[in-house]
Chains A and B, each alone.
Chain A
Amino acid sequence: MIWNKEAECMSAEEKEDLQLKRLQEVVKRAYENVDYYKKRFDEVKVLPEDIKTLDDIKKLPFTTKTDLRDAYPFGMFAVPSDDIIEVHTTSGTTGKPTVSGYTQKDINIWSEVMARSLTMAGGGKKDLIQNCYGYGLFTGGMGVHYGAQKIGATVIPISAGNTQRQIEIMEDFGSTIITCTPSYALYLAEVLQKQGITSEKINLKAGVFGAEMWTEEMREEIEKRLNLSALNIYGLTEIIGPGVAQECLEKNGLHIFDDHFYPEIVDPKTLKRLPDGEQGELVLTTLTREGMPVIRFRTRDITVLRKGRCDCGRTLVKMDRITGRSDDMLKVRGVIVFPSQIERALLKIEGLDPHYQIIVTRPHQLDELEVQVEASDILFSDEVKHVEEVKNNIEDYIQAEIGLRVNVSLVEPQSLPRSEGKAVRVIDKRKL
């Protein structure tokens, strides 16, 4: 099913016309109503009238997280505060949060893109959507909620946490779609297994997983254990929240709702635009938002854009799953390492739960990478040589993935922190 055929299956020419028209409008709105944009555009001597083609977007300056933070709390709003009907913020784990303000029209857009996302995951009127994203200032909960209501599904606003309750509701209500972080989905699978609840006893057909990075291998694991289609959703509070992009059942990339969010890929070092098909940092411009237009926002997320018609019928541009972040990419002995690579390696080992933590130290002027993995029945044996063999195997897999020898240490089960939100995967103890 396609929620909005006209928007989602548009021809390339129609799309570009619409994008240009909307880009010109949003740039004008931003310039005229937000001091920050006026100042930045003036600095580079660009006026809204200079945007004559889509390609002209490259004349505009980038907006970073720091820029948004500096405008805390309401400095980026482009409408009088009377017209803002809802606010959300980022978690603020790296400093002051950034605030996102929504007009009624923005909420309508958010509901629309989330309706498209949930429909893409096979959702409809008959579905029971167990929404385990946190409700509150975090955008996850409300975003899914608006979309679920728009498609007429039954939304279960259970929010994050309280795993026992989640399982009880899932079983008793027969939830058909679950929305949460992929690491929480795995945790749920683990608890279900522990309690002897098989996947036949639950009625889930799809999971809409996002808010953190994950891998193909993790998808396979979740699908196997929960017997559902595990789909990727992407979004950012700065842009709107969840619903910037969503994976269809073809499972080979996320469709960006590019009639509302204009994507570009740039080289994170040189900030030069890269052609489709090349990997780089995703930059997004909101084409339709009123409350808080965001121009050329550097997401720090690393991906690739791919154009063309998908087998599902949509023409929305696709992005690959996020493979890393330009800011939490680790550099170990000069080699770029993403936590997702370690995860991919771990998932190659049959029966290994991908609960891990990466610890980076620099004991003698040389970076050391330790990967802590929880021991399990499968890894353990009464013989030292067997356990060491398993440890070596894991080290080999990681080396094949990242090109560096790391030290794998086995830790006791359940000793690594579990999270109900974003998992903390990397502890960098180097004083850089």
Chain B
Amino acid sequence: MKLKQISIFLENRKGRLWKALHILGQAKINIRALSIADTSEFGILRMIVPDPENAKKILEESNFVVKINDVIAVGVPDEPGGLDGILGVLNEADINVEYLYAFAEKQMEKAIVVLRTEDIDAGLKALEGAGVTVLSPEEVYSL
């Protein structure tokens, strides 16, 4: 199952990351997972939040550029080599990974990996076909 991710354009300027996160904090939006892609000139803040449409709306009110797109969330064993298996599946299926970020969840003893493959549907199919635990949005949000 696909998961919605929000991406925010950040100008490479002091205080912009804080501003975006401050807005979400004020709106009581809990961030489930986060990563930042940074280049010398701009940054892209990517996040998994429970209600992406609402978060987008709130950020846009403060003039942020926000995009929502699909990613895949999978659970991997929180142990050495956990990610290896997942990437092996995708490599086997010749699927290119654009980016990924992971966070460990102690209670589940699993790590959650957020994946963005070039072709989301193909990535999902390959992972599910190989028996990898793909998490539903509800499962991710309830962590």
Residues of A at the B interface (CB closer than 8 Å) are 375-377, 379-385, 387-388, 391, 409-415
Q: CB distance A381 to B7 under 8 Å?
A: yes
22 A-B pairs, CB-CB below 8 angstroms? A375-B9, A375-B11, A375-B42, A376-B65, A380-B67, A381-B69, A382-B7, A382-B44, A383-B98, A383-B99, A383-B116, A384-B37, A384-B39, A384-B44, A385-B98, A412-B16, A412-B63, A412-B64, A413-B63, A413-B65, A414-B63, A415-B63
Instruction: Among B39, B67, B99, point to the contact of A388 (Cβ < 8 A).
Output: B39
Chain A contact residues: helix, strand, loop or mixed: loop
Kindly report which residue of chain A lies nearest to residue B116, judged by CB atoms: A382
Q: Which residues of B contact A376 (CB under 8 A)?
A: 65
Q: Which residues of B contact A380 (CB under 8 A)?
A: 7, 9, 65, 67
Instruction: Among A381, A385, A412, point to the contact of B67 (Cβ < 8 A).
Output: A381
Instruction: Among A375, A385, A409, point to the contact of B65 (Cβ < 8 A).
Output: A375
Given known contacts A375-B9, A380-B7, A382-B116, is B63 in contact with A409 (CB within 8 Å)?
no
B41 part of interface (Cβ distance < 8 Å): yes
Q: CB distance A410 to B42 under 8 Å?
A: yes
Residues of B at the A interface (CB closer than 8 Å) are 5, 7, 9-11, 16, 37, 39, 41-42, 44, 46, 63-65, 67, 69, 98-99, 116
Output the residue of B5, B37, B41, B98 with the most chain A CB within 10 A: B41
Q: CB distance A382 to B46 under 8 Å?
A: yes
Output the residue of A382, A385, A413 with the most chain B CB within 10 A: A382
Q: CB distance A412 to B39 under 8 Å?
A: no
Q: CB distance B44 to A411 under 8 Å?
A: no
Q: Tell me the smallest distance from the CB of A356 to a CB of chain B, in Å.
A: 15
The 10 closest A-B pairs by CB, nearest first: A382-B7, A414-B63, A380-B65, A375-B9, A375-B65, A412-B11, A380-B9, A413-B63, A384-B37, A382-B69
Q: Tell me the smallest distance from the CB of A368 to a CB of chain B, in Å.
A: 14
Q: How far is the CA of A19 from the CA of B116 in the complex (A)?
A: 72
Chain B contact residues: helix, strand, loop or mixed: strand
Q: How far is the CA of A385 from the CA of B10 in the complex (A)?
A: 15
Q: CB distance A377 to B39 under 8 Å?
A: no
Kindly report which residue of chain A lies nearest to residue B71, judged by CB atoms: A382
Q: How far is the CA of A385 from the CA of B69 in the complex (A)?
A: 15
Q: In the complex, how many residue pairs between chain A and chain B have their CB atoms under 8 Å apart?
A: 55
Q: Which residues of B contact A385 (CB under 8 A)?
A: 98
Q: Which residues of B contact A377 (CB under 8 A)?
A: 65, 67
* Given A375-B9, A380-B65, A384-B39, 15 new contacts (CB under 8 A): A380-B7, A381-B7, A382-B7, A382-B46, A382-B69, A383-B44, A383-B99, A383-B116, A387-B9, A387-B44, A409-B41, A411-B11, A412-B11, A413-B63, A413-B64
Q: Tell me the smallest distance from the CB of A418 to a CB of chain B, in Å.
A: 12
Q: Which residues of B contact A411 (CB under 8 A)?
A: 11
Q: Which residues of A contact B98 (CB under 8 A)?
A: 383, 385
Q: How far is the CA of A407 from the CA of B38 in the complex (A)?
A: 18
Q: Tell me the smallest distance from the CB of A383 to a CB of chain B, in Å.
A: 6
Q: CB distance B11 to A410 under 8 Å?
A: yes
Q: Which residues of B contact A414 (CB under 8 A)?
A: 63
Q: Which residues of A contact B37 (CB under 8 A)?
A: 384
Q: Which residues of B contact A381 (CB under 8 A)?
A: 7, 67, 69
Q: Which residues of B contact A410 (CB under 8 A)?
A: 9, 11, 41-42
Q: How far is the CA of A219 from the CA of B32 in the complex (A)?
A: 46
Q: Which residues of A contact B41 (CB under 8 A)?
A: 391, 409-410
Q: How far is the CA of A411 from the CA of B64 in the complex (A)?
A: 10
Q: CB distance B67 to A415 under 8 Å?
A: no
Q: How far is the CA of A410 from the CA of B67 in the complex (A)?
A: 16
Q: How far is the CA of A387 from the CA of B69 in the complex (A)?
A: 15
Q: Tell me the smallest distance from the CB of A188 to a CB of chain B, in Å.
A: 18
Q: How far is the CA of A61 from the CA of B64 in the complex (A)?
A: 55
Q: CB distance B44 to A412 under 8 Å?
A: no
Q: Which residues of A contact B9 (CB under 8 A)?
A: 375, 380, 387, 410, 412
Q: Tell me the smallest distance from the CB of A385 to a CB of chain B, in Å.
A: 8
Kindly report which residue of chain B lies nearest to residue A379, judged by CB atoms: B65
Kindly report which residue of chain A lies nearest to residue B60, judged by CB atoms: A413
Q: Tell me the smallest distance from the CB of B101 to a CB of chain A, in Å.
A: 12
Q: How far is the CA of A381 from the CA of B66 in the complex (A)?
A: 8
Q: Which residues of A contact B39 (CB under 8 A)?
A: 384, 388
Q: How far is the CA of A387 from the CA of B116 in the complex (A)?
A: 16
Q: How far is the CA of A410 from the CA of B12 in the complex (A)?
A: 9
Kindly report which residue of chain A lies nearest to residue B38, judged by CB atoms: A384
Kindly report which residue of chain B lies nearest to residue A377, judged by CB atoms: B65
Kindly report which residue of chain A lies nearest to residue B70, judged by CB atoms: A382
Q: Tell me the smallest distance from the CB of A124 to a CB of chain B, in Å.
A: 42
Q: How far is the CA of A22 from the CA of B64 in the complex (A)?
A: 59
Q: CB distance B11 to A415 under 8 Å?
A: yes
